[in-house]
Structure 1
Amino acid sequence: MKLTNINKSFGDNHVLQDISLDFPEHKTTVMVGPSGSGKSTILRSLNLLGMPDSGHYDFDDFHLDFSQKITNKQKLAVRRSTGMVFQDYNLFPNHTVLGNVIEGPTQVLKQPREQAIATAKDLLNKVGLSGYEKHYPNQLSGGQAQRVAIARALAMHPKYILLDEPTSALDPELEQEVLRVLLQLAHEKQSMVVVTHNMIFAQRVANKIIFVEHGQILYDGDPKEFFSPDNPNERIRKFIASMTMKNL
């Protein structure tokens, strides 16, 4: 998965400025940076929920030129391989937990219902929610709802899971429920791209760190060097100190 020379503007705001990034398969890439830096815009570009103004996107056999019209067929093909998990869950409120997880496999992938149900139960067990199949979203805690959202994404058998601040709406105890699941997926070599403000989690899970600020990539590389107190980039050292409250 690779982006090359990506640009995106909203009016006069040049949100992404000629950025180029690659996201290794079977690894966890973590994007960090201040709010409004462009992290979520990059993530949404990978799922084609947001369309850059120019640049190129290579993913498996697909090569997309954002200066040209992207067809619905191309969008669908990319989205089938990239499961998206949002910070506000986006569960269907009128569906049970089981109904939410089987919706994509039965409606999009055209799986037999019995097969989709069996897979959904396995995934719910994986995220620690076995026995919650008949619950509705309004009966769940935030941590439970987010774990259902992760199970729903996994049910589509995506090559990559894209997670946009998956725990930002949760209190610390519920946040840990979700982070444990993501750590397990990382250990299983599930390809993931995660936008987060949680530096402790980023340090534990990342195979690669990307630091974004003002629509530019200020760091793209090894997590150990990024988190090192000897990192030569003063801006990054200050950012980590502020996010971990070491400068209080």
Structure 2
Amino acid sequence: MKLTNINKYFGNKHVLKNTTLDFPAGQTTVMVGPSGSGKSTILRSLNLLVIPESGQYDFGKHHLDFSHKVSNKTKLAIRRETGMVFQDYNLFPNKTVLQNITEGPIQVLKQPKQAAIRNAQKLLVKVGLANYGDAYPHELSGGQAQRVAIARALAMNPKYILLDEPTSALDPELELSVLKVLSQLAAERQSMVIVTHNMIFAKRVADRIIFVENGEILYDGTPEEFFAVNNPNQRIKNFISSMTMEDL
């Protein structure tokens, strides 16, 4: 998965500026940076929820040149291979947990209903919600709902899971339940791209850290170098200090 010389504008604002990034398979890439820096725009470009004005996107057999119109067929093909998890869960309120997870596999992947149900039950065990298949979203805590959203993404057998601030709406205890699931997926080498403000989590699970500010990539490397006390980039050091409240 690779973006090359991506440019995106929202009105007169140049949100992404000749952005080039590679997202290796089997790794967890974590994007951090101040609010409004362009992190979520990068993530949504990978899922084609956002279409840049220019640049190239290579993902498996797909090659896109954003200076040309992206067809609906291409959008659907890429979205089938990239599971998206948002901060507000986006579960169907009128469907049970099990129905939320099986809807995509049955309707999109054309899996037999019983096979989709068996797989969904295994995924609920994986995310620690084995007994919640018959529950409705309004009966879940925020942490539980987000774990269902992750199970729903996994049910589509995506090549990559893309997570946009998946725990920002949760209190710390509920956040921990979600982060444990993501840590397990990272250990299993599930390909993931995560936007987060949680520096402790980023340091623990990331194979690679990307720091974005004002639509530009200021760092792209290992978490060890990013979090190093002697990191020569003072802007990054100031950002880490503010996020971890070291200077409070």
CA distance in 2 between counterparts of 1:106 and 1:66 reads 31
**Equivalent position of 2:119 in the other structure:** 119
TM-score, normalized by length of structure 2?
Answer: 1.00
CA distance in 1 between counterparts of 2:204 and 2:53 reads 34
CA distance in 2 between counterparts of 1:247 and 1:86 reads 31
**In structure 1, the residue corresponding to 2:217 is in which secondary structure?**
strand
**Equivalent position of 2:176 in the other structure:** 176
**In structure 2, the residue corresponding to 1:31 is in which secondary structure?**
strand
> 2:227 aligned with 1:227, yes or no?
yes
**In structure 2, the residue corresponding to 1:123 is in which secondary structure?**
helix
**Equivalent position of 2:144 in the other structure:** 144
CA distance in 1 between counterparts of 2:120 and 2:158 reads 14
**Equivalent position of 2:76 in the other structure:** 76
CA distance in 1 between counterparts of 2:67 and 2:129 reads 44
Per-residue displacement from partner, 1:128-166 (whole Å, max 9, x unpaired)? 000100000000000000000000000000000000000
**In structure 2, the residue corresponding to 1:133 is in which secondary structure?**
coil
**In structure 1, the residue corresponding to 2:176 is in which secondary structure?**
helix
CA distance in 1 between counterparts of 2:201 and 2:172 reads 12
TM-score, normalized by length of structure 1?
Answer: 1.00
**Equivalent position of 1:191 in the other structure:** 191
Letter in 2 for 1:222: T
**Equivalent position of 1:99 in the other structure:** 99
Per-residue displacement from partner, 1:156-212 (whole Å, max 9, x unpaired)? 000000000000000000000000000000000000000000000000000000000
Q: How far 1:247 moved relative to its partner?
A: 1.1
Q: How far 1:68 moved relative to its partner?
A: 0.3
**Equivalent position of 2:27 in the other structure:** 27
CA distance in 2 between counterparts of 1:217 and 1:69 reads 26
Structure 1 unpaired stretches of 5+: none
Per-residue displacement from partner, 1:84-136 (whole Å, max 9, x unpaired)? 00000000000000000000000000000000000000000000000100000
What is the total number of aligned residue pairs between the two structures? Answer: 248
Q: How far 1:25 moved relative to its partner?
A: 0.3
**In structure 2, the residue corresponding to 1:104 is in which secondary structure?**
helix
**In structure 2, the residue corresponding to 1:29 is in which secondary structure?**
strand
CA distance in 2 between counterparts of 1:55 and 1:142 reads 37
Letter in 1 for 2:77: A
**Equivalent position of 2:9 in the other structure:** 9
Letter in 1 for 2:152: R
**In structure 2, the residue corresponding to 1:130 is in which secondary structure?**
coil
**Equivalent position of 1:66 in the other structure:** 66
Per-residue displacement from partner, 1:46-93 (whole Å, max 9, x unpaired)? 000110010000001110001101001100110011000000000000
Please list, as runs of the form range in 1=range in 2, the aligned pairs for 1:49-64 lying within 5 A after superposition.
Answer: 49-64=49-64
CA distance in 1 between counterparts of 2:180 and 2:111 reads 29
Structure 1 runs of 4+ with >3 Å offset: none
Q: How far 1:12 moved relative to its partner?
A: 1.0
**In structure 2, the residue corresponding to 1:125 is in which secondary structure?**
helix
Structure 2 unpaired stretches of 5+: none
For the aligned residues, what is the CA RMSD? 0.4
**In structure 1, the residue corresponding to 2:177 is in which secondary structure?**
helix
